[in-house]
Amino acid sequence: MRERVIRDEIHRDILVPARIAKLIDTKEFQRLRFIQQLSTCYYVFPSANHSRFVHSLGAFHLATVLTRQIQENQPGILDDSDAELVQIAALLHDIGHPPFSHLLENPAVFATFHSHEHWGRLLLESEETEIGLAIREVLGAAQLGRLFAVMSGESEHDGKSIPPFLKEIVSSQLDVDRMDYLMRDERNSGAQIGGFDVERVFRALRVGEDGHLFAMNWGQPAIEAYLVTRFHMYTQVYFHKVNMLTQSYLTRLLVRARILKEEGKLQLSRELNNMLCNESLTAAEYVVLTDAHILVALSDWAAHDDQHLSEDAQRLLSRRGFHKSLRIDELSLEMVDKVTDTICEIVSAAGYDESRDLIQATISKSGYKPYVEGIRLEDGRDMSEVSELVRSLTQPTERLLIFVPEEVRDECETAARALIKPKQARLGEF
Task: Please calculate the CA angle 249-328-45 and round it to the nearest 5 degrees.
Answer: 45
Q: Is pLDDT of 340 > 70?
A: yes
Q: How far apart are CA 407 and CA 404, in angstroms?
A: 8
For residue 35, give the DSSP letter.
S
Q: Give the burial class of 418: count Cβ atoms within 10 A of its Cβ; 0-12 exposed, 13-18 middle, 19 or more buried.
A: exposed
Residue type, 3: E
Task: Please calculate the CA angle 86-88-90 and round it to the nearest 5 degrees.
Answer: 70
Q: How many other C-beta atoms can be found within 10 angstroms of the C-beta atom of residue 364?
A: 10
Q: pTM for this one?
A: 0.94
For residue 171, give the DSSP letter.
S
Q: How many other C-beta atoms can be found within 10 angstroms of the C-beta atom of residue 334?
A: 9
Q: Is pLDDT of 428 > 70?
A: no
Q: How do the domains of the chain map onto residue ranges? A: 4-229, 323-430
CATH topology of domain 4-229: Hypothetical protein af1432 (1.10.3210)
CATH topology of domain 323-430: Alpha-Beta Plaits (3.30.70)
Contacts of residue 115, Cβ cutoff 8 Å, sequence gap at least 6 = 96, 105
pLDDT-derived band at 425, boundaries 50, 70, 90: very low
Q: What φ, ψ does residue 271 adopt, rounded to 5°?
A: -65, -45
| Residue pLDDT, tens place only, 110-151 | 999 999 999 999 999 999 999 999 999 999 988 999 999 999
| Residue pLDDT, tens place only, 32-43 | 999 999 999 999
What's the confidence (pLDDT) of residue 330?
A: 67
What's the confidence (pLDDT) of residue 421?
A: 57
Closest CA to 37 of 237, 316, 197, 242: 237
Q: How far is CA 72 from CA 63, 66, 67, 234, in A?
A: 14, 10, 9, 34
Closest CA to 63 of 183, 144, 195, 171: 171
Q: How many other C-beta atoms can be found within 10 angstroms of the C-beta atom of residue 1?
A: 9
